[in-house]
């Protein structure tokens, strides 16, 4: 009789242990599922499309730029200045300038040896609309310059690198998309800049 009771007790304890272990594993599995972060698929790879506009200048050139930039024509009445533009962003510190002007410099090398290029870093060769030129970084103030001199005309691009990564990208995109067009005779108008908008979508 005593042996039978022992067997029943041992059996009951065994059943309790098995049930306890089963409950423990079920609870642990639920906890793991709760604390595991759920991340929507592809959220890190998603990139927004950027709308580009085309700026066309009566001086005979055009280039593409992001629609969130503002372009201001500051050419004035100086006859030696074909075009002078200031490009800025409401979201980023810094700005970019584009100047197309008559020059007495006969080459980019001559300009690099002048006082105007004081503090210039190492120049690297670039091509702008089929014309050979140079791109140089300056340390003080920190800026990026792209320059071409062709047939007595200087094509000068300068970006103040307050936010270097952003303005480096804008600068190089404008330079790479810069093309020469036929010079147009301006029609009588009240003033202001001529901008032709062409929407494009570019995935970076």
Structure tokens given for 126? 């670039």
Contacts of 191-196 with CB under 8 Å at 24 or more apart are 192/73, 193/71, 193/72, 193/73, 194/56, 194/57, 194/58, 195/53, 195/55, 195/56, 195/71, 196/54, 196/55, 196/56, 196/62
Mark whether 96 and 180 lie in a shared domain: yes
pLDDT of residue 50: 75
pLDDT of residue 94: 93
Mark whether 80 and 139 lie in a shared domain: yes
Length of the chain: 204
The CATH number assigned to the domain holding 147 equals 3.40.1000.10
pLDDT of residue 110: 97
Query: The dihedral of CA 21, 27, 32, 38: what is its sign?
Result: positive
Mark whether 62 and 8 lie in a shared domain: no
Mark whether 175 and 86 lie in a shared domain: yes
Number of domains in the chain: 2
Please give the model's pTM, rounded to 2 decimal places.
0.68
Q: Is residue 93 part of a domain?
A: yes
pLDDT < 70 positions in the chain? 1-14, 17-49, 183-204
pLDDT of residue 40: 46
Find the angle CA(128)-CA(176)-CA(104) to the nearest 5 degrees.
30
Q: Which residue segment(s) compose the domain that 74 sits in?
A: 49-185+194-203
Mark whether 117 and 74 lie in a shared domain: yes
Q: Is residue 91 part of a domain?
A: yes
Structure tokens given for 194? 């001529």
pLDDT of residue 192: 45
Cβ count near 50 (within 10 Å):
14
Mark whether 97 and 179 lie in a shared domain: yes
Mark whether 6 and 88 lie in a shared domain: no
Give the residue among 54, 48, 92, 58 at the shortest CA–CA distance from 71. Answer: 54
Helix (H, G, I), strand (E, B) or coil at 62: strand
Q: Is residue 43 part of a domain?
A: no
pLDDT of residue 124: 95
pLDDT of residue 149: 98
Mark whether 24 and 106 lie in a shared domain: no
Query: DSSP letters along 138-165, please?
Result: EETTEEEEEEEEETTEEEEEEEE-TTHH
Mark whether 3 and 64 lie in a shared domain: no
Mark whether 93 and 132 lie in a shared domain: yes
């Amino acid at each position: 009789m005593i042996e039978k009771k022992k067997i029943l007790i041992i059996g009951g304890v065994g059943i309790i242990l098995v049930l306890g272990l089963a409950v423990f594993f079920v609870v642990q599995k639920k906890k793991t599922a709760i604390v595991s972060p759920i991340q929507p698929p592809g959220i890190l790879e998603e990139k927004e499309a950027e709308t580009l506009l085309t700026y066309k200048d009566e001086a005979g050139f055009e280039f593409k730029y992001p629609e969130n930039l503002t372009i201001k024509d500051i050419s004035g009445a100086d006859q030696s200045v074909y075009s002078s533009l200031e490009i800025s962003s409401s979201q980023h510190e810094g700005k970019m300038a584009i100047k197309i002007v008559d020059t007495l410099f006969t080459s980019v090398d001559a300009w690099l040896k002048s006082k105007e290029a004081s503090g210039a870093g190492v120049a690297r060769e670039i091509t702008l609309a089929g014309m050979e030129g140079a791109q140089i970084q300056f340390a003080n103030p920190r800026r990026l310059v792209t320059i071409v001199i062709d047939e007595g005309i200087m094509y000068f691009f300068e970006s103040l690198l307050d936010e270097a990564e952003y303005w480096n990208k804008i600068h190089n995109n404008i330079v790479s998309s810069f093309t020469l067009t036929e010079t147009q005779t301006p029609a009588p108008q009240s003033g202001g800049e001529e901008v032709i908008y062409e929407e494009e979508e570019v995935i970076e």
